[in-house]
Amino acid sequence: MKTVREQQQKAKAPPRYDGTCRELSREESDRRVAAGEPFVIRFKTPKDGSTTIRDELRGDITVENTTIDDYIIVKTDGLALYHLAAMVDDHEMGITHVLRGSEWLGTFPLHALIIRAFGWPEPKWCHLSVFLKPTGKGKMSKRDVTSEQSIYALELREMGYLPEAINSWTALMGASFGAEEELLDLAGMTERFKIANLNPSPARVNFEKLDDFNGKWIRRLDITDLSGRLLPFFAKAGIQADPALLQRIVPLIQPRLVTLDDAVDFAGLFFREVPASPAEALTPKGLTAAQALGALEAAHALIRASEGFTTEALEPPLRALAETLGLKPGQLFGIIRQAVTGQPVSPPLFESMEIIGREVVVERLERAEATLRGA
RNA sequence: GCCCCCAUCGUCUAGUGGACCAGGACACGGCCCUUUCAAGGCCUAAACUGGGGUUCGAAUCCCCAUGGGGGCACCA
């Protein structure tokens, strides 16, 4: 067999069985089996004519029988290959529709031939397009573990993608469900699913769209549900988030999340010590440290004196203060934000302060003032 | 090399001979809203791979070319 292969390669012919034992008589083969010779069983493909098979997406496909090899169907160890096993299996299970990847298109004629040889009714066949890597170069493969392009669905979950988002996203690659809404849950998809809406051409995987879908799904979740899903991600980051507190924070970060993972970045400040900010960070550009300090002290006085510690109570006076100081609201709020949250970017300031609480807010304001005085 | 499949904006797609100077979504750019970042709203830009046919009429049908993908194991 080895020498045959080499000759075929030299002749630039496709590697295939040379038919040595094709015409062996039943008696002869029985004798040799009885004699203990190792053997395989091949499918004896017709030598002439052609085979026409129907794919529900592509219509009839006709191939010359000469291009179909005498495939091995049972191995030397007596085990059936997929080609035989799957056909028998499907038949035994009464399968009516076979939807599988288009990588099976090449052996599709063989499979049909096997079924016809048994005299069994043929199921309907439909070959789905493969997913291409984001680069468009080659197909996405679950076996290509070494490639950084390959990824497991489970990893996606660990990265903070919702099962709902992953489902609706993958479903939309290589298919459509009839316009109106792209974000479909399983029930919506099964309701609308039609083989005719599948696309036969390969689809490139688009992770940007996954991000978009994930954000939209996150925004659809109710607060309790989302809070519950966030807990494991805080835990993974070493934060034991108090569920009740988290419930109050979630509305602030919900519209900001792309992945569940992001919550730790956005809400971490509510659960751990925030480091003191350097004077530069506390000083908006265009202002001096002294000006920032003055603004902060004035804000501090208002906050300390404020009757309630809610957004409703805090925002109006501070907004008025900005005007009095001749600052844009964003400038004043930016200083406070940095002082209180330790970050230039944070969830909405007043709502955040409300959650952090007066005592801690005042502490942090004082700390920031000290920093600015030393500048 | 051989066999098979596919071909609309950058990407995923709608479109099955006239309703298409081609619609939607993502991404991109701009505007609005706005305490940061988002979210949200509005708007712009962006495609029928090429060439032959068929037809009164082609994104839609046929052929060729080109391009892309898949397969060619005693894997699945």
pTM of the complete model: 0.89
By C1' distance from the Cα of A104, the closest nucleotide is B71
Q: Say how far residue A162 (Cα) sits from the centre of its chain.
A: 8
Average pLDDT, chain A: 91
Band of residue A179 on the pLDDT scale cut at 50, 70, 90? low
Nucleotide nearest to A174 (CA to C1'): B12
Strand B contact at CB of residue A50, distance < 7 A: no
What's the CA A254/C1' B61 distance, rounded, in angstroms?
51
Which residue is catalytic, options A2, A10, A12, A142?
A142
pLDDT higher than 60, residue A88: yes
pLDDT of residue A150: 55
- What is residue A10's predicted lDDT score, i.e. its pLDDT? 57
pLDDT exceeds cutoff 80 at A292: yes
DSSP code of A15?
Answer: P
- How do residues A107-165 score in pLDDT, each as one tens digit? 999 999 999 999 999 999 999 988 998 888 888 765 444 445 556 778 899 999 999 99
Q: Which residue is nearest to nucleotide B4 (CA to C1')?
A: A106
pLDDT band of A12, cuts 50, 70, 90? low
**What's residue A140's pLDDT?**
79
Q: What is the mean pLDDT of residues A92-112?
A: 95
Taking only the tens place, the pLDDT of each residue in A206-249 is: 999 999 999 999 999 999 999 999 999 999 999 999 999 999 99
pLDDT score of A3 more than 80? no
Q: How far is CA A349 from CA A151, A204, A353, in A?
A: 38, 41, 6
Nucleic strand B under 7 Å from the C-beta of A65: no
Three-state SS for A262?
Answer: helix
With vertex at residue A103, the alpha carbon angle to CA A100 and CA A107, rounded to the nearest 5 degrees, is: 90
Residue nearest to nucleotide B13 (CA to C1'): A176
Q: Give the integer Cα–Cα distance in Å for A105 and A127.
A: 7
Which residue, among A369, A359, A310, has the nearest Cα to A336 in the 3D structure?
A369
What percent of chain A has pLDDT above 70? 93
Q: How far is the CA of A213 from the C1' of B28 (A)?
A: 18
pLDDT tops 60 at residue A194:
yes
A123 contact to strand B (CB, 7 A limit): no
Coil, helix or strand for A129? coil
pLDDT of residue A155: 87
Residue A73: enclosing H or E segment and its boundaries?
strand A72-74
Q: A114 CA to B5 C1', in Å?
A: 22
pLDDT at res. A146: 46
- Tens digits of residue pLDDT in A343-374: 999 999 999 999 999 999 999 999 999 999 98
Which nucleotide is closest, CA of A172 to its C1'? B12
Asked whether the predicted pLDDT for residue A21 surpasses 90, the reply is no
In this predicted structure, the answer to whether residue A272 has a pLDDT above a threshold of 80 is yes
At a CB cut-off of 8 Å and minimum separation 6, what does A232 contact? Answer: none
Q: Give residue A341's pLDDT.
A: 96
Instruction: Give the span between the Cα atoms of A359 and A167, in whole angstroms.
Output: 45
Q: Cβ of residue A349 near strand B, that is under 7 Å?
A: yes
For residues A153 and A318, the model is more confident at A318
Is A142 one of the catalytic residues?
A: yes
Is strand B in 7 Å reach of the CB of A12? yes
At A128 the pLDDT is 93
Q: Looking at A94-241, which runs of residues are DSSP E strands?
A: 97-101, 124-128, 131-132, 203-204
Residue A333 Cβ < 7 Å to strand B: yes
Residues 163-192 of A with CB under 7 A from strand B: 172-176, 179, 182
Indicate the SS3 state at residue A242: coil
Q: Is beta strand A41-42 parallel, antiparallel or unpaired with respect to A72-74?
A: antiparallel
Nucleic acid strand B: bases within 7 A of protein CB = 1-8, 10-16, 23-27, 35-40, 68-76
Work out the average pLDDT over A50-58. 94
Per-residue confidence band for A285, with pLDDT thresholds at 50, 70 and 90: confident
Residue A73 tokens, joined = 């169907």
Query: Which residues face A345 on adjacent strands?
Result: none
